[in-house]
Amino acid sequence: MAMAMLRGAAAVVARRCGLGPGSSGGKVAARRRCSAARRREWVPPVGRDSGIVAYNSRSRTKEPLVLTKDRVATWYSCGPTVYDQAHLGHACSYVRFDIIRRIMTKFFGIEVIMVMGITDIDDKIIKRANEMNMSPVALARIYEEDFKQDMAALKVLPPTVYMRVTENIPQIISFIKTIIANGQAYATSQGNVYFDVESWGKRYGVLTTISPDTQDEAVNTDKRHGKDFALWKAAKPQELSWTSPWGKGRPGWHIECSTISSAVFGKQLDIHTGGIDLAFPHHENEIAQCEVYHQCEQWGNYFLHSGHLHVKGSQEKMSKSLKNYITVKDFLKKFSSDQFRMYCLRSRYSSAVEFSDKSMDDAKNLLQAISSFIKDANAYIKGQLICDPVREDILWERLANTKVAVKAAFADDFDTSRAVAAIMDLIHHGNRQLKAVTKDAGSPRSSVVYGSIISYIEGFFNALGMSFGERQVALGGDNSAVLSSVIDELVQFRTKVRHYALALPEAAETAPVEGDAGAKGSKREEKEKRQQLMRERKPLLEACDSLREDLAAFGIHIKKVCCGAGPDLAFANPRGVPQTERCDMTRCRPRQGSHHPQHGSAWLGGLAVAEGVVLAQGRAAGPACLDRAAVSTWEMAEGGGQAEEQAQKKC
């Protein structure tokens, strides 16, 4: 196993230097030179080649993505600083990396273990909390939840674990102590601790070429050198702080990611991601800290950076400080998450992208073209669209070629735009043959090939976090649809329990007994038996009543009416499917003058008509049903009441 892994690494080095397995011996010297030159900068990790080539900011070139453990990727993602709503610039980075994560999982079978750090204490959070007269921790929790909701709305998969800075303070202090012990950081009399960049020398500047006079984000007078950056910041009076060996304070920004990543993955990290603006100084400093802490040559094998999102006509990236941002929530009022994902798919994740209404329209047009092809192909399969004979062989070949092209595009630094182009090309060829003719010449139909194409295209987009086709919409991210089904099941279960509890043997069922005394005795016995059963089953009825009351707290109302109440039996649910507890005719009788059809479809059919009216009224009258998709208003017909006696009285 170990030898195989080493051979894998050697092969990777050879490929990186442009030397394939068939290279001549004359290239050995070149390989040595190449190898030596590379080793000073970046060493290919020992492990398994994933089959993907990715642009690595650490080596500043495309590299085969070699994972330390076969088909498992350890991935650290810098998370948000939670002091305000997320905007589209943030969303773009997280959606792009979500797409990459899904490609790795769905197309290359790689299990991704992702950790995301949440910065819940920092200068911006403290400033905003002071402005709002609330505690920084409370403010951070509000915007952390807000961030998670935005990501869910954009269908970004949550990381394996979120880790908050404030919950890792002892680990951060211990991490800093080790860096000081290793001689690479110093504490000042003011209670700050700085990383000594100067003595780290040429190892600093892995990701970017650093100019000698570069300063840290905050200029502090007690630094030894301008480039030194804070690991621990002394607290100002009244500021939220933690006790440390250097006095009361809080962590610097960069140390949190190094500590959290190391706490989970140790010194071994395959992939580290973030927006390109994080490359320097944030990621550069993370690398320096970790390599000192772990005393290793290379922490973080692959650094992937996403490009900025610009507003059209502006050279500036979208950002809070420039006040040129659109919040995720405002964006989603106008556009769909699928539209944004398609917009992201159309460029390489690392490139800068321009945002405009036109770019959103282009994405929408593409989505419509895909939907309309799927619709036409479905119609063809169902025999609703009649065409001339289809060249099946061409379509099968196109489909096979598309699959190869898509995989090759993804393997080439996750080139999503090329993959989408391959899909659109397949749709183009599929459409060309779907030309409707007015006359059915009875030609053979090629349903299977069109079925396969639809299946592949739907699978492609669904794998990337989009939804095509009603099946996916019904089963997918729409929680209200799932919840409706759960409520459905729950109400039906309750109905069965109630009916069992209420179903007592009728007196008529008992066998006739000769003699008056015998009959009286039998009736008394029967009555006692029924009362005994009623006592035994009472807890079931009470549980049913209690469930009805509990559900009401969530806005789900099981309406108590007698089965013979005609239109009162109407009930509503968002899907318009009639929900009913079947009338139990053994106890209920029709009301005088009301129409009470026999059990069965006629009765339910009549009800369905009334239901439509009530459903519409219910929606108009109850905005809660619409605002809170998960909570729907249900009105259920109940045969009987809380107990059998009440049911008898009502009916």
* CA-based nearest residue to 464, from 150, 50, 55, 101: 101
Q: How far is the CB of 80 from Zn ion (least distance, A)?
A: 10
Query: Under a CB-based contact definition with an 8 Å cutoff, are residues 561 and 522 in contact?
Result: no
Q: How far is the CB of 204 from Zn ion (least distance, A)?
A: 17
Q: How far is the CB of 89 from Zn ion (least distance, A)?
A: 16
Query: With respect to Zn ion, which residue has the nearer C-beta, 259 or 433?
Result: 259
Cα radius of gyration rounded to whole Å, the chain: 34
Q: How far is the CB of 2 from Zn ion (least distance, A)?
A: 33
Q: How far is the CB of 261 from Zn ion (least distance, A)?
A: 8
CA–CA separation, 311 and 207 (whole Å): 27
Query: Under a CB-based contact definition with an 8 Å cutoff, are residues 327 and 84 in contact?
Result: no
Query: With respect to Zn ion, which residue has the nearer C-beta, 78 or 112?
Result: 78
Q: DSSP per residue over 109-144, as a string?
A: -PEEEEEEEEE-SSHHHHHHHHHTTS-HHHHHHHHH
Amino acid at 622: G
Q: How far is the CB of 117 from Zn ion (least distance, A)?
A: 6
Query: With respect to Zn ion, which residue has the nearer C-beta, 207 or 453?
Result: 207
Query: With respect to Zn ion, which residue has the nearer C-beta, 289 or 633?
Result: 289
CA–CA separation, 483 and 569 (whole Å): 23
Query: With respect to Zn ion, which residue has the nearer C-beta, 176 or 363?
Result: 176
Query: Under a CB-based contact definition with an 8 Å cutoff, are residues 460 and 426 in contact?
Result: no
Query: With respect to Zn ion, which residue has the nearer C-beta, 290 or 328?
Result: 290
Query: With respect to Zn ion, which residue has the nearer C-beta, 277 or 488?
Result: 277
- Residue 432 Ramachandran class (φ > 0 left, ψ -120 to 50 alpha, else beta): alpha
Query: With respect to Zn ion, which residue has the nearer C-beta, 257 or 426?
Result: 257
Q: DSSP per residue over 538-590, as a string?
A: HHHHHHHHHHHHHHHTTT-------TT-GGGG----TT-----PPP-TTT--P
Query: With respect to Zn ion, which residue has the nearer C-beta, 272 or 548?
Result: 272
Q: How far is the CB of 256 from Zn ion (least distance, A)?
A: 7
CA–CA separation, 554 and 551 (whole Å): 5
CA–CA separation, 425 and 423 (whole Å): 5
CA–CA separation, 271 and 278 (whole Å): 15
Classified as helix, coil or strand, 609 is helix
Q: How far is the CB of 78 from Zn ion (least distance, A)?
A: 3
Count of other CB atoms within 10 angstroms of residue 602: 10
Q: How far is the CB of 479 from Zn ion (least distance, A)?
A: 31
CA–CA separation, 577 and 369 (whole Å): 32
Classified as helix, coil or strand, 61 is strand
Q: List contacts with Zn ion (CB under 5 A).
A: 78, 257
